[in-house]
Every structure is written in C-alpha cells, then in structure tokens.
A and B are shown apart, each in its own frame.
Chain A
Amino acid sequence: MKSFRRKLIVMERIFKAGAINFVRNAWLSAAAIAVMVITLTIVLFSVIARATFNNTIAQINDKIDVSVYLKDDVSTQQKDRLVKQASDLKTVKSVTYVSKQEALEKYKKDNQNNADLLVAISQTDNPLPASLKIKPNDPNQLQELKVFLEKPENKALQSDETSYSGDRKEAIDKISNATNFIQKGGLVGIIIFTVISMLIIFNTIRMAIFNRRDELNIMRLLGASTWFIRGPFIVETMLYGLIAAIISVLICNALFSVSSTTFEASSLGLLDIGFANEYFVNHYWIILTAQIAIGIVIGAASSYFATRRYLKFKSTK
C-alpha cells in the first residue's frame, strides 16, 4: 500500500516536472509545436479531403444508370423477361421500368418553363420510348451488362443506342484520380512532416538534456529511477502534441468558418466545401481526440528515443 502511494507521488512529481520544463523551455518548445501543428493540420486536411471526395464519388455513382430504350412494339412479356434477366445479373443493383407515359410526364415536368417545347410535344403522338433504368453496383464494371444487352434477342428489343453515361463516368474517373492523388500526396506529406516533427522534437529534447546535464547527473547519483529522469521529458513532449493538436483543429475551424461564409458553402471545383464543413462539424470530437492522440504519440515517441539515446543509465564496464 505504501509503495503504491509512493508510486503515485512519483508519478505526480514526474508530471509536474514535465509541465515546469515545458514552461521553462517555452521558446524552444515553440518551434517543436509549430512544426507539429503543420503535421497535424496536413493529417486533418487529408482525412477531410478523403471523406469529401468519397462522398462526391458516392453521390455521382448513385446518379449513374444505364438507359435501355425499348421499341414501341415490345410486348409486356418481353419487357418482363428483360427486366427479370437484367435484375438477375450480379453487377446490377436495380432495374426500373419507365413507360412511354411516364417518360412523357417526366419530359413535360423537366421542361415546364419551355412553352414551345410543351406545345410541340402535345401536337404529336408520344414520341418518347419506354425505357429501363438499370443501376449498376459499380459504374466501372459494366462489361457483364453490356454483353447481356448486346445479345441478339435483347438487342432486337432496343430502339436507340444504349446510353452508358459516358460523360459521368469521365467525371468519376477524374474525381477518383484526384482522390488518389490527394491521398498519396497527403500520405507523403504526413510522412515527411512527421519525420521532421520527430527530428525537431528529438533535437529539442537533446538540447534540454544537454542544458540540464549536471542536474540530471545529480539525480542519477542520488538514486533517481530511470523513469523519474526520463518521465518529465516525455511528459513535456506529450504537452507539445496536445497543444499542437488543439491548434491544428482550431486552424481548421477558423478556415471553415471563413470559407463557408466566403463561398457560401458552394462547391469549389471538385471540393465540396459544404460537405467538408459538415463532416468536420459532425466528427468534431472524434477528430479532436484523434489529433490529440496522434500528437501525443509523435511527441512521446520522439522524446522516448531522444532520452534513450542521450541519457546514459548504465554503469561503465
């Protein structure tokens, strides 16, 4: 019981000493914190950008369908067979039948502000074909569907060329490429800045050890345990991580509040700021917690290695 109490007291003193060192080394700490802020901000932006692009892709994917236009003389039986067979394909998510009448109503609705067109279409028989809207599971995998639709018995039922939503696919490809690029770039950035952060913290601790070598040596000779000597350095760098994480989230916060008022949550090219902002706000606490955790781990790891390298505890042989 007594030894447990002693351990608690020692722990408390290690944390206190770390906090005091942190305040004493304020200027030295500033550089370490600054580079850590950059690192954590890049991490944060990469995560948000990734989520945003994925969302954009998902949205576009959801809108993609393959329209199969049917000849007017296709019987109900033929239509039903086609719907059933198409639905049974593994790559197909859903098949919706749009009758001539539904197509006409939709056309009228879409063009309700264009009086000329409405007049023109009402003066003839319904010229619009019935169609099947086929939603694929994955717009990049249309091969099976294509083969199916090209079969002579199926081809015979179709009036126009099937639309494979070519332009949409291109947009998706573009976004996918951008996402890939941003992810890879983000990863490279994260790695580079994490290494820089660790080197700077490593060096900061090395200097702190050098500045206080007499004191540390006295502690060692008086019988301070390894952790009593190392602990404060590690606590100090964990504080760097904590503060850098908070700053990086605040920066992100500020950027979003500026950009969402400036651009009124509009889309900036491929980057949907509105969604990004929403994602950030909805995941605020988990993002903050994760950032703090990453910051603390980077800080603690760097000083762990620095103290291991520069504090010698073994007696010489």
Chain B
Amino acid sequence: MLMILLDRVSKVYGKGMSPALDRISLHVEPREFVIVVGSSGAGKSTLLKLLTREEKPTSGKIIVGGIDYDKLKDKEIPYLRRRIGTVFQDFKLLPNKTVFENVAFALEIVGTGKQEIRYTVPRVLDIVGLKGKEKRMPMELSGGERQRVAIARAIARQPKILIADEPTGNLDPKHAWDVVKVLQKINEYGTTVLLTTHNQEIVNKLKRRVITINDGKIASDRAQGAYKG
C-alpha cells in the first residue's frame, strides 16, 4: 500500500489566479525519504498544507496512510493530524513550557496517561539528542536544538509519516545538518519522511529521492537526485 498518493491534484487560491499546484500526481512508498525542492512560491508549502489538511484541494484525489481525504469530515481532521508528525520552519514551540512539557503536550492532547508520557518523552528526546535538556525553556536553546525539540514532539506519537516544512530554513549549516541527521535516523526507524528544503548542500549530501516543483508542476522526480538551486 502506498503511503502517499496524489492523483491530479490542483489548488487554486482565488478566481483568476494561476494555480499554486497544477494537476500534480505523486506516489510515495512506506519508509521512503523524499525531498521536495523548488524556489519559494513554487508550491511546496501548498503541497504540505494539503497533506495536513490545512487546505483543501480544488480538484484531485489525496490518500495518505489509507485515509481518503474526500471522505474526511471536518471533525475527523484532528485524528488525521495525529497520524502525521509535522515540523515547521518556525518550530512552533510553546514558549512558556519546558522542553519536556512541549513534547508531552502532543501526547496530552490525545489523552495519553501520565505514566506513558513519563516513559515516552525522555526516549524521544534521546533520539533527537537532547537528553538532559528536559527542563530547559525554548528560549535557552539554539535554533537547531529547538527544531530537534519540535521533531521530538512530532515523533512522540509514533506517526507513520513525518512532514518537515523547511525545518532547516532558519538554521546555520552546522545545526541544519544536525537536524537532517535526526530526520535520517527517524527514517531508518521506519517512518516515511517528506522534507522540503532550499538547501542545495543538504539535498546533494543526502542522495535521496528528489522531487522538484516548479510553477505548481512537478519538473523532475529522481531516485537519487541532486538540486542545482
């Protein structure tokens, strides 16, 4: 079974505007690591927003992890999002909560018991390399560390898919690479990863499947791709 299936998906934001995505078709297998590249405004963010159901497509079919979005009701969206881990360029951490509490938050909202939270949070923080920083506040961390907290939060519920929208966009090269290594590790554990980035160096170093989006269309899709900016 495919993890992600897009069949001729289009998204038009306003009447008379050119489409942000134009009849895109895409297949992603389970456990794949896919990088989506393209200049800003190419349609990368729109693609991810369609996958997390922040936006609805104007036309076309989306199936993620066996869930057909056409049959998804508004009130079922939270349950969809619980099955997809999401990481954002601006981290989206809660500034008044500690590292531990930020990660625990993702578990609290779905009704995970306290014991399970106390068991899970230190383990995911260990995976992202933040063991021992549980009590820090987000402000006390570097950008790279903050993004790793966000990744820990995204994987705490063990999603089948992790979507990372420009997670390295605000980071210097060293921290950016740390974050990518964490994503690689998570992929090795069996999670499908969808990463969007601008960063040529990362793309070329990773040697994974690269999908290039240009003007809302897929310009290329290469198994071990490179990106020339």
A residues within 8 Å of B by Cβ? 5-7, 9-10, 13, 214-215, 217-226, 228, 313-317
Contact = CB atoms under 8 A, between A and B. Distances in A.
A225 B78 contact: yes
A315 B53 contact: yes
A7 B111 CA distance: 7
Contact of A221 (B92, B108, B111): B92
B54 A315 contact: yes
Contacts of B74: 313-315
Contacts of A221: 52, 54, 81, 86, 88, 92
A226 to B, nearest CB: 7
Interface string B87-118: 01000111000000000011011111100000
Contacts of A7: 111
A316 B54 contact: yes
Nearest to B105: A222
Contact of B109 (A219, A313, A315, A316): A219
Contacts of B78: 220, 223-226
B56 A316 contact: yes
Interface in B60-88: 74-75, 77-82, 86, 88
Contact of A223 (B55, B80, B88, B93): B80
Nearest to A13: B108
21 contacts: A5-B113, A6-B111, A6-B112, A9-B113, A10-B111, A220-B78, A221-B86, A221-B88, A222-B86, A223-B80, A223-B109, A224-B78, A225-B78, A225-B109, A226-B75, A226-B78, A314-B74, A315-B53, A315-B55, A315-B56, A315-B74
Nearest to A12: B111
Nearest to B58: A317
- Give the 4 A-B residue pairs with the shortest CB-CB distance, closest first: A6-B111, A223-B81, A223-B82, A224-B109
A316 B20 CA distance: 14
A88 B70 CA distance: 78
B77 to A, nearest CB: 7
Contacts, number: 67
A103 B106 CA distance: 89
B148 interface: no
A9 B109 CA distance: 9
A218 B81 CA distance: 12
Nearest to A226: B75
Contacts of B80: 223
Which of A9, A223, A314, A315 counts the most B-chain CB atoms under 10 A from its CB?
A223
A226 B74 CA distance: 10
B81 A315 contact: no
Nearest to B85: A222
B92 A223 contact: no
B44 interface: no
Contacts of A9: 111-113
Contacts of A314: 74
A317 B80 CA distance: 17
Contact of B77 (A6, A10, A219, A313): A313
A218 B110 contact: no
Residue from A220, A224, A226, A228 having most chain B Cβ neighbours under 10 A: A224
Contacts of B55: 315-317
A313 B73 CA distance: 11
Contacts of B81: 221-223
Given A9-B112, A315-B74, A315-B77, A222 B94 contact: no
Contacts of B86: 221-222
A34 to B, nearest CB: 28
A225 B92 CA distance: 18
A251 B58 CA distance: 59
Contacts of B105: 219, 222
A222 B54 contact: no
B153 interface: yes
Given A223-B78, A224-B78, A315-B56, A6 B110 contact: yes
B80 to A, nearest CB: 7
A176 to B, nearest CB: 54
A220 B54 CA distance: 10
A215 B93 CA distance: 8
Contacts of B153: 222
Contacts of B92: 214, 217-218, 221
Given A218-B94, A315-B55, A223 B113 contact: no
A5 B58 CA distance: 39
Contacts of A10: 109-111
A222 B111 contact: no
A313 B105 CA distance: 19
A216 to B, nearest CB: 11
A224 B110 CA distance: 7
Contacts of B108: 13
A59 to B, nearest CB: 58
A253 to B, nearest CB: 40
A218 B94 CA distance: 8
